[in-house]
Structures are given as C-alpha cells and as structure tokens.
Amino acid sequence: MNSQIKLTGGGFVTKPTRSRETRADQADIQAVSRVSQILSLFDPATPEVTAVEVAERLGLNRTTAYRYCTSLVAAGLLERSAGGGYSPGGLLLQLGAFAIGHRRVVNLAPRHMQALSRATQTSAVLSLWGLTGPVVSRVEETVSTIVVVSVRVGSHLPLDTAQSKVFLAYHSDQLSMERLIGTLSGTARDELRAEVDRVREAGYCSAMSTPGIVAVAAPVFDEYGICASLAIVGPDNTLSMSDDAPELRVVVDTARELTQELGGHYRPDDRQRAV
C-alpha cells in the first residue's frame, strides 16, 4: 500500500510505504546471501560447478541458478569454462590475492625475493594457496636480462606447475589435496601423484610450466606449516631443471632463510636436527 502527499500547486505524488522499502532491503540481502552461497561451493575438490549443480545444492530452480551464474560472470566473480561450467573469476582471484597479501610472509618476502632475482637473473614469484590452487601474490622481476619472464599477480596456477606440486606435497590437509588430484584423468592423476611424492622426498620441484618456460619452486613454512611457495621462472635455455643446477640451490636456501624468519622449519629433518 502507498501513501500520497499533496503538492502545494495541486496534485499528488505517491510515496512508497515503509513495507515496500523493507521488502526491497530484504531482497537485496537475500541476493547477497545467495551469491555467498554460490561462491562457497568452490573448494579444492570442486574447482568448477554447473548451473544445474548450483540449483541442486542450493535448492534453487535452474533458471534462477543460471541467472545468478551469468550475472556473476558479468561481474568478473565467475568465469565460464569451455565445457559450460563455472569457475572462480579474475576479480574473485584478485580480491583473494589482495586479502592473503596481508599475511606476514608477503611482508617479509620482498627483500629475499629481490636478492633471489638478482642472484639467479630470473623473476622470483611468491604464491599462496587459494581456493583450488596457488595464487600469485608477489613478483620480483629481473632488470638485467634481455628476456624477462613474469607472472601476473592474482594468477591462479594450474596443478601441473612447480608451485602447485610443492603445495600438494606439503599441505596440511592431504585429504583435500588427494581429492583435488583425483579430479584429473587416470594417466595425469598417476603422474601427478608420483611427482608429488618426489617433491616430498626432495624438498623442491622443477617443472616446465608452459612450453619453453621453466619454474623451480621450494616450500616456505611458518609455525603452522606450509604458507607459501617460492619460485623462479625463466626460459628453458637459461634455467635448468637439473637437480644440480646452481639456481636450484639458491631457491632452496632462500626459502629456508624465509622459513627461519617466519619461525618455521623448512622440513621435518630440520626440526629433528634442531632438537
């Protein structure tokens, strides 16, 4: 029901009643709550959902679920995959990178990363664990080489990267990591499991992230466990994947130094030696 106010010159203007305003406020709150529910569906075991799955899990009709998903894509909070599903979008990843950027490791890492970049003549990359994998939180580029390989801050790294394998090897929630690995096909799943076992044994990972680009990564720990992966990236004609590459030693030593500054232990054998 509306109320009317009489104007001085005659005539009336309709004024919405408080009940209509209240209903509008409640609708806005419900929309925000529903968006939150949709975004909370993503986890390491669920990197992608369809509109049908959204409808089933949240008790919505399919039209409503599809409308929400397409609106979130337009806002940059979701991305539409080639298969028709939805995954976390660029804006959501950027916001996540901004939030985790306040963590202590990101504040302490810059000087270590700058020294690492200078010593190896490569770009140094710090990644923290996001919803379904590492998210690049800081990059230090080398300025003394002709070719510079870099990574955009906020980038979500796929599971076959060196940084991801480091997290998969040392993450405290190994059940969730196994579920994430289990989303891959048979051959890729078995190969990744074997590689993660090697990383866990060696304490580092070297991998071809994209054709022609090598990444060498090591874990960084605080008092609670792994908190970041530290990596260098460069062309494969200058950065070796060999276990005896001098750049690998620098990465591991830098990760160890940052770990000690954070009050963590680089690996379990470090803790045993310290006792």
- Confidence (pLDDT) at 272: 40
- pLDDT for 101 equals 52
CA distances from 8 to 12, 44, 226 (A): 9, 64, 71
Q: Tell me how far apart the alpha carbons of residues 17 and 3 are, in angstroms, rounded to a whole number.
A: 6
The span from the CA of 133 to the CA of 183, in Å, is: 13
Whether the predicted pLDDT of 4 surpasses 70: no
Tens of pLDDT, residue by residue over 59-98, are: 999 999 999 999 999 998 999 988 889 998 888 877 776 6
Mean pLDDT of the chain: 84
Phi and psi at 244, nearest 5°, equal -105, 15
* Closest by CA position to 134, among listed 125, 143, 123, 146: 125
Task: Report the C-alpha gap between 16 and 5 in whole angstroms.
Answer: 11
Predicted pLDDT at 30:
80
Model confidence over 167-201: pLDDT tens digits?
Answer: 999 998 899 899 999 989 889 999 999 999 999 99
| pLDDT at site 223 | 85
How do 86-88 and 78-80 pair as beta strands? antiparallel
pLDDT at residue 266 above 50? yes
**pLDDT value at 224 more than 80:** yes
Segment holding 230, helix H or strand E:
strand 225-235
What is the pLDDT, as a whole number, of residue 273? 39
Gap between the Cα atoms of 174 and 177, Å rounded:
5
Geometric angle at alpha carbon 148, from 145 and 152, rounded to 5°? 150
The answer to whether 134 and 161 are in contact (CB under 8 A) is: yes
Measured in degrees and rounded to the nearest 5, phi and psi for residue 196 equal -65, -40
Token representation of residue 98: 């901004």
Q: Give residue-wise pLDDT tens across range 110-163.
A: 999 999 999 999 999 999 988 778 999 899 987 766 666 778 888 889 899 999
Q: How many CB atoms lie within 10 A of CB 94?
A: 16
Burial class (CB in 10 A: 0-12, 13-18, 19+), 206: buried
Tokens of 144: 């003394």
Q: Could you tell me if residue 90 is left (phi over 0), alpha (psi between -120 and 50 degrees) or otherwise beta?
A: alpha
| Phi, psi (degrees; rounded to nearest 5) at 173 | -95, 75
